[in-house]
Homo-oligomer: A and B are copies of this chain.
Amino acid sequence: MSTMNLTLLTDFYELTMMQGYFKNKANEKVIFDAFYRTNPSNGGYAIAAGLEQVIDYIRNLTFSAEDIDYLRSVGSFDEDFLDYLSTFRFSGDIYAIPEGSVVFPREPLIKVVAPIMEAQLVETAILTIINHQSLIATKASRVCYAAKGNGIMEFGLRRAQGPDAGIYGARAAMIGGCIGTSNVLAGQLFDVPVKGTHAHSWIMSFPDEYTAFKKYAEMYPNACTLLVDTYDTIKSGVPNAIRVFTEMREAGIPLKNYGIRLDSGDLAYMSKKARKMLDAAGFTDAVISASSDLDEYLIDSLKTQGAQITSWGVGTNMITSKDCPAFGGVYKLAAIQAEDGTFIPKIKLSENTEKITNPGNKTVYRIYEKDSGKIKADLIALVDDKFDPAQDLKIFDPIETWKKTTLKGGTYVMREMMTQIFKEGRCVYESPKVMDIRAYCQEELNTLWDEARRLINPHEVYVDLSNRLYEIKSQLLEQMSQS
């Protein structure tokens, strides 16, 4: 983990607002929700990721003496406020949907219940972490879906947007379903499989391709994927690989996890041609892997074309989520505590209906069809809403609230998605290991109908509002439009 103090990883306005709250309403407690509005890549869902790093960040939140000196030097802050910061610790509660969960637009992924100064400060870093990892986990799940059970290797470090983007991007890609990463540091930090063989430079550093292959195969007979496109894939690369495999076989050295990698050219054509050549030489178990600007759409297309590739290395387009490089998560005020301890719901208006927030102290329920175990809908509810799955349930569309549906009692199952992470500033949650989050994510993805997973024009899973939340929202909108 980075040992850099990330306390100042925040927008300057969080601090100017904090000082304003400090002077006007230091003891006010509030609720903020982190949520997103649109699924990345026009998909049907997202994968929540990054919670473990949010926990690390919150735990380590302290302003060092250097930080205080720096803030003093900026010239906007008074000494009483800097004094307050010098002993700052997060003292609030945090709830979240666990990492690896399938999530949908507008439902709170993280809920912060804390004094307003604390809740405001943590906005930026929470969003940076969650936006990034959820984006890449979602993208990876799409790439894996396209590969229909073939393994996807995360190969993107060199094109990631800086070291953290490579490190935590690899973590997120593993959560989303990759079988390994080329990123050694991610392997060390998160205990996930690292893999890789050699580059063009290996081939070029030897007098000829055959010698380079031979040297490599002798060293790594148990993980011998030869890159065949340095000079000419079909005329030189594949024949030289076959010659080396043959010599290894004749020398009685068993090859395991061996094969070739295509990194340029027409992958459909080349892979079919190479498959025939390998098979003809008796290497029917040699794996053909491919890399070269792959993404879910290209893999899907290659599958349709009958490409003979069963292992995929995906770099740039996954580690940057190239077609959609930002997740768009936001963090909005949902309620302010009154003097009697109750929370007063707050709403933000917008000329864009999609941007109107859901007020109040909320949680998220997932509703499954009892027979299939598949997701029927999600329900954003107030924390003190009560439900009985034996009864009929009426749910409302959160934007077009005149759309209502009734679920028959006994035909559905409900599960609360949010869990408590911090209680009065103490962490009360233990993050699972990344490979366990990955396994949970696979289960989560299996609760989606295939129609909601497809890459283009997926079925939209509805996220509805509970009856009481719907009423509170309507009342607030009514009040606002009259004022």
Contacts and interface: CB of A to CB of B under 8 A. Distances in A.
Chain A contact-residue range equals 35 or more
Contact of A205 (B30, B184, B202, B325): B30
Interface stretch (A116-124, A298-306, A389-397, A400-408): A116-124
Contacts of A13: 182, 196-199
Interface stretch (A342-350, A360-368, A417-425): A342-350
A201 to B, nearest CB: 4
B163 A161 contact: no
A41 interface: no
B163 A135 contact: no
B349 A231 contact: yes
A332 B12 contact: no
A65 interface: no
A160 to B, nearest CB: 6
B157 A9 contact: yes
Contact of A2 (B67, B163, B332): B163
B162 A128 contact: yes
A65 B284 CA distance: 42
Contacts of A135: 161
A194 B12 contact: yes
B187 A12 contact: yes
A131 B158 contact: yes
B165 A162 contact: yes
A161 B158 contact: no
Interface of A: 1-4, 6, 8-17, 19-21, 23-25, 28, 30, 32, 66-67, 70-71, 74, 76, 116, 120, 123-125, 127-129, 131-133, 135-136, 155, 157-169, 182-185, 187-188, 194-202, 204-205, 215-216, 219-220, 223, 230-232, 264-265, 316, 320-322, 325-329, 331-333, 336, 346, 348-352, 355, 480
15 contacts: A6-B185, A11-B157, A11-B158, A11-B183, A12-B184, A12-B196, A13-B196, A17-B202, A20-B202, A132-B165, A158-B329, A162-B162, A162-B168, A163-B164, A320-B326
